[in-house]
Structure 1
Amino acid sequence: MNNALTPALEKKRVLLCVGSGGVGKTTISATLALRAAVDGRSSLVCTIDPAKRLANSLGLNALGNVEAQVPASVLEPLGVKPKGKLHAMMLDMKATWDDLITKYAPPDKREKILANRFYQSLSSALAGSQEYIAMEKLWELRTRRDYELIVLDTPPTAHALDFLEAPNRVLDFLDNEAAKWLLTPALAAGKMGLSLFSLGSSYVAKTISKFTGTETLQELAGFMMAIAPMNESFRERARGVRELLEAESTGFVLVTSPGRERLDEVTHFHRLLKQNRMEVVALVVNRVHPMPGPELWEEAKGLIPSRRVKVEETLRELTVLAEQDLRGIAELRAATPGTPIIQVPRFELDVHDVAALWRTGRYLMGDEVIPTAPASTLSTTEAPTPLSSGEGQGEGTRPPG
């Protein structure tokens, strides 16, 4: 069965799974790459999640900063034989920054940059640094590897702009005119300037050093002197990243949960992607509570009275949760017109093996959908409104099949 993700997996070269933390982006990313490989496209999933569960679910002991091929044998128990190869990797932020410096910094500057304490903070903790290096890695993988599809599990962001503007923010910092003015003595005079600067040779330096420490300013001056020859190459790659994100061969998959606290975030992100001319191929609502089916209510009627009371109370609670999710999805659909919405249910257990990934994929690709129960079976006063069957596949209008 086809849905909005089918053509994306067939034609796109890059898919970026984006959204806030804790909504299942890593699972969705791995599942998309897995399905593409099974269907015959060589695929790579690049994740930033340090948890081992993804590696284990793909039959690997661990993931590192280098691509590892997922053995086809992990799918044999499911009776599935992939037609293409699947690779996986976990982005190591510090190692990727170091590789970038090693490749592009002038030979006489490399060791100075790598040993600089300010660089070490930039490459591991500075706000926006993780988003920037994730985009750098994506650009490198797309331009230097021959995977037919790369799926990037982006860093979790509370604010969409952190992701979209990270490259520009880092570049603005590296090329900041105010910082250059502040560091003019050091930048202009080399070692002598650094020596004078360390003694607080200017009024501005003396004032700032009261708050930051002179040693910190010296480290910053040393870093900016060493990194300056790389600024143009940084800008060139930032332009390349922007072009890649806007390309027809690139698509975004927004991932969210149905909770109301997530709805404003995802609609804001959706709006910004559209404003930035970036294609949203689908919006995945993950961990949706399924509506209890009529067969469960019928089974409850046959229980002894004490057991029946408890079971029916549980069914009513599940119905309330399902109704809440349905209303949230309806609001989401109204706020994102024209974007297909695909639902993945909340499973009893976390996704921790390839069988669970494959099951997730059946919902992502529309092979199965979340059922909705007829209103007559509900025990609450307000029945949920079923989703329209004309608003995209995988939206909970039919029982699984």
Structure 2
Amino acid sequence: MTPRERVGAVLDVDALLADPGTRIVVCCGSGGVGKTTTAAALGLRAAEQGRRVVVLTIDPARRLAQSMGLVELDNTPREVAGVDLSAGGRLDAMMLDMKRTFDEIVVAHSTPDKAEQILANPFYQALSSSFAGTQEYMAMEKLGQLRAQADRDGSWDLVVVDTPPSRSALDFLDAPARLGSFLDGRFIRLLSAPAKAGGRAYLRAFSAGMTAVTGALTKVIGAQVLKDVQTFVVALDSMFGGFRERADATYKLLQDDGTAFLVVAAPERDALREAAYFVERLARDDMPLAGLVLNRVHDLDPSAPSAERALAAAETLAEQTGNPLTEQLLRLHAERVRVAEREVLITERFTGAHRLVPVRRVRARAQDVHDLPGLREIGADLAG
């Protein structure tokens, strides 16, 4: 099939979900395009078709919990009630708690005394709660844990990931490596060297070379903060073996044939521009792209009047002092047609530049989805 023949190729979501080789589905894209709802709908549809699914969301608005009828989600997968299990499937859901995930890693990879020291460290507390890139790194860490548990005890055969709401869709791929490089980098290790120095002679020689650096840092961030960082890094180094290696391991998991990326976008310029960047990045990093989910699309009814005809009819009614309600409805229809036409043009720019990317369109709805029936409707749209 030539690239020209592939233009407008349709994404077969049901085939993707039914394939036992699909072990991880990652929903990615810029913020506000419906990733959370898409992830939940995919998880529900897969479960009701017989897959054992866990959905991992990183959504502070907790919309996934509401949609699935749960009081709340936390760092532990919980079974979703009301799912049709007649096909033998199962649906669990959880929401990432990045600090708790970080704490669990500390406890799992250190002695009780060392863990207590790290957990009480002020620099660690700030890092685990709000440091840039921590959420994205912990999302990857939790994904790795879920996949390892699935391989170990067969709890799930499909993990659906709703990526963090970031300024840029690329943050999900870039931030973990940045955090890993920071924690495993030369500068941090340099700061930790005085505390790990084995002899006084070495420490005196090292201190002579570090005096200017540490003096400047002390003026900027304070002596206590610098001491907290040094203490934290020494403890971290003894138990982790390098954050960059952990990020690299999860990166390889994302490149595996059992992983499928679904880029989610709205038919808007900025969202599709982000989607284009992500598609190109996935290709460059040799990551398996399944296709694009184009969310909140306004359908064009070929039999309906054009915007020009609707506006002309509205003007005629206005001149004839006709029915004002009908006039307003005609104007509203004209605006909807123009929105739909604009969405088509914007989408065609993306599909023209990325001819080999299959697309699945999901129609816009009058209100947000907050329950399982609504998620089933979204899932039906995704399946076509």
TM-score of the pair, normalised by structure 1: 0.82
Superposition pairs of residues 175-254 of structure 1, within 5 angstroms? 175-188=184-197, 202-232=211-241, 234-254=243-263
Tell me the alpha carbon deviations over residues 191-247 of structure 1, each in whole angstroms, 9 at most, x when there is no partner: xx99xx9xxx82221111111111111110011010002332645533321221111
Which residue matches 1:256? 265
Deviation, structure 1 residue 293: 5.9
How many residue pairs were aligned?
Answer: 356
d(CA) in 1 for partners of 2:174, 2:120:
27
Which residue matches 1:392? none
d(CA) in 2 for partners of 1:107, 1:308:
73
**Match 1:133 to one of 119, 129, 138:** 138
Which residue matches 2:168? 159
Task: Assess if the C-alpha contact under 8 Å between 2:310 and 2:331 holds in 1.
Answer: no
Task: Assess if the C-alpha contact under 8 Å between 1:25 and 1:153 holds in 2.
Answer: yes
Residue identity opposite 1:174 in structure 2: L
d(CA) in 2 for partners of 1:257, 1:248:
27
**Match 1:343 to one of 335, 340, 361:** 361
Deviation, structure 1 residue 260: 0.9
Structure 1 range deviating more: 301-310 or 91-100: 301-310
d(CA) in 2 for partners of 1:116, 1:345:
49
Which residue matches 2:128? 123
Superposition pairs of residues 377-392 of structure 1, within 5 angstroms? none
d(CA) in 2 for partners of 1:106, 1:170:
24
Tell me the alpha carbon deviations over residues 103-149 of structure 1, each in whole angstroms, 9 at most, x when there is no partner: 01244321111111111111111111111010000001001122111
Residue identity opposite 1:137 in structure 2: K
Task: Assess if the C-alpha contact under 8 Å between 2:44 and 2:83 holds in 1.
Answer: no
Percent of paired sites with the same residue? 40
Superposition pairs of residues 2-401 of structure 1, within 5 angstroms? 3-11=11-19, 12-71=22-81, 73=82, 81=86, 83-145=88-150, 146=154, 147-188=156-197, 202-232=211-241, 234-292=243-301, 294=303, 305-366=323-384
d(CA) in 1 for partners of 2:262, 2:159:
13
Root-mean-square deviation over aligned CA pairs: 2.9
Structure 1 range deviating more: 105-114 or 16-25: 105-114
SS at match of 1:156: coil
d(CA) in 1 for partners of 2:175, 2:129:
14
Structure 1 range deviating more: 158-167 or 58-67: 158-167
d(CA) in 2 for partners of 1:144, 1:290:
42
Task: Assess if the C-alpha contact under 8 Å between 1:23 and 1:256 holds in 2.
Answer: yes
Residue identity opposite 2:233 in structure 1: M
Deviation, structure 1 residue 161: 3.9
Tell me the alpha carbon deviations over residues 13-69 of structure 1, each in whole angstroms, 9 at most, x when there is no partner: 000000111111000000101111010011011101133432222122111111111
TM-score of the pair, normalised by structure 2: 0.85
Residue identity opposite 2:13 in structure 1: L
Residue identity opposite 1:121 in structure 2: A
Task: Assess if the C-alpha contact under 8 Å between 1:4 and 1:281 holds in 2.
Answer: no
Task: Assess if the C-alpha contact under 8 Å between 1:260 and 1:328 holds in 2.
Answer: yes
User: Taking CA–CA contacts closer than 8 Å with sequence separation of 6 or more, which of the two structures ends up with the larger relative contact order?
Assistant: 2
d(CA) in 1 for partners of 2:198, 2:239:
20
SS at match of 1:20: coil
Tell me the alpha carbon deviations over residues 297-330 of structure 1, each in whole angstroms, 9 at most, x when there is no partner: 8999899632221111000000110011111111
Unaligned runs of 5+ in 2: 1-9
Residue identity opposite 2:270 in structure 1: E
Structure 1 range deviating more: 4-13 or 47-56: 47-56
d(CA) in 2 for partners of 1:161, 1:351:
26
Deviation, structure 1 residue 292: 5.0
Tell me the alpha carbon deviations over residues 352-400 of structure 1, each in whole angstroms, 9 at most, x when there is no partner: 111111111111011xxxxxxxxxxxxxxxxxxxxxxxxxxxxxxxxxx
Task: Assess if the C-alpha contact under 8 Å between 1:46 and 1:153 holds in 2.
Answer: yes
Task: Assess if the C-alpha contact under 8 Å between 2:39 and 2:160 holds in 1.
Answer: yes
Task: Assess if the C-alpha contact under 8 Å between 2:24 and 2:160 holds in 1.
Answer: yes
Residue identity opposite 1:113 in structure 2: I
SS at match of 2:130: coil
d(CA) in 2 for partners of 1:107, 1:326:
59
